[in-house]
Amino acid sequence: MNLVWFRNDLRLQDNPALHAAADRGPVLACYLLTPGQWRRHRMAGARVDFILRSLRYLSEDLARLNIPLVIEQANFFDDVAPVILSLAKRFKVSAAFWNEEYPLDEQRRDEAVADLLLASGVVVNRFHDRVIAPPGTVLKSDGRPYRVFTPFKRTWLQLADAGVPDILPVPAAQAAVPIPSSAIPETPAGFSTGVDPGLWPAGEREAMKRLRLFGRLKLKSYPEQRDIPAVAGTSILSPYLAVGAVSPQQCLRLALQHRQEAGEGAACWINELAWRDFYQHLVVAFPQICKGRPFKTETARIAWRDAPHDFERWCQGNTGVPIVDAGMRQLLATGWMHNRVRMITAMFLSKNLLIDWRRGEAYFMEHLIDGDFAANNGGWQWSASTGTDAVPYFRVFNPFSQAARFDPEGIYIRRFVPALKTVDTADLHDPLRLEKVRPSGYPEVIVDLKKSRLAAIAAFKSVG
């Protein structure tokens, strides 16, 4: 028997581990719930719910191929290896197959599983599906990893252009095997969510539908629309990429297919896929990132403010800065936030409020349906100017100017902050005017923007 261990690759198409296992056949699939580790990694309830719903579709799709899906539990990653070994023994597994995950804890888990399986005579086969170019393949001419995105992208594009592999097909159905699939478990304790599952239909078919619609209807206008949070101008595929209901290769293929008519739109979207790969590569090349350390080591000495009350106001979207509050409320209501607003809210916390970016990083993970360690850490370190190739520390977004530029009519702000529905647009984008007409249900601006900007710059300067 060949065991495919599904993780964040919950799809049949373009799944190298499944494809290789099916070539050898017969196949048994497994998935492990690790609720203790998920808690430690601060996984959002919305994401856990999305995983469980995705598993339901995966199990049905696998059943059509006569592949049973066995679901087990191992509280922490440290407990995983014996559970996989026991599965391997129970079902007489001779070879195991999985697609790589790159953060340090996941790598350590997989090494332990591989060691135990190999010691028991089970062959281990590992593949790359989470990135377009596997970590270690995009290197500088001296063989070292890139720290800066633009040259990384240049080399990455050469690889991507040189030959995009064919999308792997769904394997053919195998002869039935006498192993029943597990029922999909209930949500583990501690992962409740207020996010409406109707906002995020799960499954591979849904992901492909969204990808194709994006390619047909939105890719062309992506460069103009991608920064406008009031419109759905981006693919909104991140939750699907995070659980692997769609692969980045499938996204790249689609962009290349539409390259002719979408022109700059395709290039611009491919650029985002490159950023995604870049951050995955960084966690492998610089694993200290996975230990809560900033990429720029000197920024570890910044005297972050201990301001629990301010942090709580930021978390709940009560800062009195409309675009920040709209973003934080979008996150709480939907489990997702527009990229432009992620940057604005992250920079506001780490610069204007001078609160440690790691607190914001953790809070995002606790709420994002698309929470992905590499992308989230990369986005936070970029915004907080602690990362490689981050925004320069002296470039602090003014959230009111950002709102005037990217939400000029205030449509996004009013959608998520109903207290501001009746405020004139010009007043929304000016802190002094807003204070004069501020509705009673909406708080005063939490901090003086000019002074806090200068304080942040000084804090960064002081550590060199």
Enter the DSSP assignment of 190.
T
Q: Cα–Cα distances in Å, from 2 out to 19, 22, 127, 309, 385?
A: 11, 8, 15, 53, 46
Are β-strands 69-73 and 95-99 bridged in parallel, bridged antiparallel, or unpaired?
unpaired
Q: How far is the CB of 336 from ligand FAD (least distance, A)?
A: 7
- Total residues at the site for ligand FAD (CB under 6 A)? 28
Q: Which of residues 76, 91, 275, 286 is near ligand FAD by CB under 6 A? A: 275
Taking the CB of residue 438, how many other CB atoms lie within 10 A of it? 18
Do 319 and 313 touch, CB atoms closer than 8 A?
Answer: yes
> First and final CA of the chain: distance in angstroms?
58
Closest CB to ligand FAD among residues 68, 223: 223
275 has catalytic annotation: yes
339 has catalytic annotation: yes
Q: Which of residues 7, 276, 313, 351 is near ligand FAD by CB under 6 A? A: 276
Q: How far is the CB of 352 from ligand FAD (least distance, A)?
A: 15
Q: How far is the CB of 120 from ligand FAD (least distance, A)?
A: 36
Here's the x/- map for ligand FAD, 366-405, by CB under 6 A: it reads as --x-xxx--xx-xxx--x----------------------
Closest CB to ligand FAD among residues 351, 438: 351
Rounded distance between C-alpha atoms, residue 259 and residue 7, angstroms: 32
Rounded distance between C-alpha atoms, residue 108 and residue 106, angstroms: 5
272 has catalytic annotation: yes
Are β-strands 95-99 and 123-127 bridged in parallel, bridged antiparallel, or unpaired?
parallel
Closest CB to ligand FAD among residues 130, 438: 130
5 has catalytic annotation: no
Rounded distance between C-alpha atoms, residue 235 and residue 214, angstroms: 6
3-state secondary structure of 59: helix
Q: What are phi and psi of 193, to 5 degrees?
A: -145, 145
Q: Cα–Cα distances in Å, from 284 out to 104, 135, 276?
A: 8, 7, 13
357 has catalytic annotation: yes
Enter the DSSP assignment of 185.
P
Annotated catalytic residue, options 357, 361, 366, 377: 357
Q: Does 234 participate in binding ligand FAD (rule CB under 6 A)?
A: yes
Residues 71-130 that bind ligand FAD (CB under 6 A): none
Closest CB to ligand FAD among residues 203, 371: 371
Q: Does 34 participate in binding ligand FAD (rule CB under 6 A)?
A: no
Residues 242-271 that bind ligand FAD (CB under 6 A): 242
Q: Which of residues 17, 32, 195, 343 is near ligand FAD by CB under 6 A? A: 343
Q: Does 236 participate in binding ligand FAD (rule CB under 6 A)?
A: yes
**Quick one: which of 305, 377, 418, 373 has its CA closest to 44?**
373
Q: Which residues are catalytic?
A: 272, 275, 304, 339, 357, 380
Binding site for ligand FAD (CB under 6 A): 226, 234-238, 241-242, 272-273, 275-276, 279, 339, 342-343, 346, 364, 368, 370-372, 375-376, 378-380, 383
